[in-house]
């Protein structure tokens, strides 16, 4: 099994951007461009509350940690989990200074509500795959918590979604190595993107020669009449 070197690791959180829009991912992670809007600010505030790396709480047979750092050499990613819950079980991982075995369950906090696309689920699955590699145990489910609905959505890490994570990360590594920023076609979701003014998807619309001449002939006619 091939492994990535540490200098080749990419940010785990990028898979959520990549799934939403490959160009958005490249602008953020390759070109280091970013612009805030209301949604990104609210999302950052939510995550700041979760990423307290010193936080650990024990409730009987449950351990709750925040801001746990994770990585995978086989996937070539590094990142951070909002919350990981460890439930004492017959099968699981051995934890330092803790007796018995503990089954990890990643929980990702998101602003807004559940989405029809798999972007958030892919990010959560990637976290689970990192935990499996680090702790040498299986992670079958995780949860997405949406602030707008105050509900957890259970995500089962099926073979299908795991394969999708691997395939998407391979594509991300290829673009990252090449330093390639893909073009994109304007979509309705572009209006909600904080990078809309930077990305300028309208610039990539191909105009016909006919429309090009019609535009300039119209401009020339307006100048003559004035």
pLDDT, tens digit (0-9, with 9 covering 90-100), for 140-197: 999 999 988 888 999 999 999 999 999 999 999 999 999 998 887 777 777 777 776 7
Environment class of 138 (CB within 10 Å of its CB; exposed 0-12, middle 13-18, buried 19+): middle
- Write the CB contacts of 183 (distance below 8 Å, at least 6 apart in sequence): 23, 204
CB atoms within 10 A of CB 88: 16
The CATH architecture assigned to 6-184 reads Alpha-Beta Complex (3.90)
- The helix-helix angle for 159-178 and 22-29 (nearest 10°) equals 50
Residue range 20-32: mean pLDDT, rounded: 88
* Mean pLDDT computed over every residue of the chain: 83
For the stretch 99-149, pLDDT in tens is 999 999 999 998 888 888 899 999 999 999 999 999 999 999 999 999 888
pLDDT value for 1: 67
The pTM for the full model equals: 0.78
pLDDT value for 106: 98
pLDDT at 224 over 60: no
pLDDT value for 42: 47
Cα separation, 103 vs 163, whole angstroms: 22
Tokens of 31: 């070109």
pLDDT confidence tier of residue 32, bands split at 50, 70 and 90: confident
pLDDT at 203 over 60: no
Cα separation, 169 vs 176, whole angstroms: 10
């Amino acid at each position: 099994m091939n492994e990535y070197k540490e200098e080749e690791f990419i940010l785990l959180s990028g898979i959520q951007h990549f799934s939403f829009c490959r160009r958005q991912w490249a602008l953020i992670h390759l070109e280091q461009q970013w612009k805030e809007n209301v949604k990104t600010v609210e999302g950052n505030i939510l995550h700041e509350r979760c990423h307290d790396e010193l936080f650990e709480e024990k409730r009987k047979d449950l351990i709750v940690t925040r801001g746990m750092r994770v990585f995978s050499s086989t996937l070539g990613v590094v990142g951070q989990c909002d919350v990981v819950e460890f439930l004492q079980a017959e099968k699981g991982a051995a934890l330092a200074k803790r007796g018995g075995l503990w089954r990890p369950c990643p929980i990702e906090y998101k602003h807004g509500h559940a989405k029809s696309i798999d972007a958030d689920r892919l990010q959560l699955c990637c976290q689970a795959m990192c935990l499996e590699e680090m702790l040498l145990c299986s992670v079958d489910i995780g949860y997405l918590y949406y602030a707008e609905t105050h509900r957890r959505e259970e995500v089962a890490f099926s073979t299908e979604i795991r394969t999708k994570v691997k395939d998407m990360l391979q594509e991300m590594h290829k673009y990252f190595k090449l330093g390639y920023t893909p073009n994109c076609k304007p979509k309705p979701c572009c209006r909600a993107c904080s990078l809309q003014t930077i990305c300028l998807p309208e610039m990539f619309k191909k105009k016909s020669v006919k429309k090009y001449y019609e535009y300039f002939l119209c401009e020339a006619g307006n100048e003559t009449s004035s």
